[in-house]
Structure 1
Amino acid sequence: MNRFSVPRHYAAMQPLVALHQSIKTAGRLEPALIELVLMRVSQINGCAYCLDMHSKDARAAGETEQRLYVLPAWRETKLFSEREQIALAWAEELTELASHDAVSDALYERARQQFEEAELVDLTLLVVAINGFNRINVAARTIGGTYKPGMH
């Protein structure tokens, strides 16, 4: 049962919603990469609502079920490009900051080889946004399972 509801049109949510939308519409990051990052961070944070949403949006955008199935073990498969692997590592390190001091220099160097500066900023802000949405939905105990692709 939901503790409380935070609708996307709630005024205080608008900056977070706008941040998320501006990254998706900027066109600097591939839609498939965006959905993979959103899924992976939501897996780490245990956000059922976001997992429901982003798995459906990813599938609607053409993502394969196989890649979604193995996403938690992306390091042990060859299904993801080097760019996707770096983006997933970046997302994980930013999401799990409590377990280390900062994003490693080695990962930053790899990321700079695959991403232009604006792309890396967008990737970082995407991770910030989904972590925010995850925390709101986990706190509210928002129920997953009812999302339809394109609802938000």
Structure 2
Amino acid sequence: MTDLRIRAAGPEDLDAVLAFWKVAAEGTSISDDREGVERLIARDPEALLLAEADGEPAATVIAGFDGWRCHLYRLAVHPDRRRQGIATALLTAAEERFAALGGRRADAMVLVRNERAGHAWTAAGYGPQEQWRRWVKHLVS
């Protein structure tokens, strides 16, 4: 693997992260815009983790902790960088962040139809929890 650096993304990274998600992320989110990501970083400057390989974005994950639960969102790896251990390294960094904050369990938002992601999450030790269902209401249209 090339030189991998994992760090918290800052405001100066937002345009690159948003462009990266268009290439690497599966699906879109209502919050995939500059305003949404700025709000995330303002609230929790360490939540958006960025993995860089050779100085370029290779992967991201949002590792949010609300004081009660640990949540993982937007795990995305550049198509040219998949199956190189980058997601594993990024999730390890997220889990270390959670442990340092006192987190006890992490959950991940994974699209049901994204089979590749399902395999990656399983390999990282995560599994679906079938007794729960996510209920959603959009607060903006």
Task: Give the structure, 1 or 2, with the largest relative contact order (CA under 8 Å, sep 6 or more).
Answer: 1
TM-score (norm 2): 0.30
Structure 1 or 2: larger strand share?
Answer: 2
TM-score (norm 1): 0.29
Structure 1 or 2: larger helix share?
Answer: 1
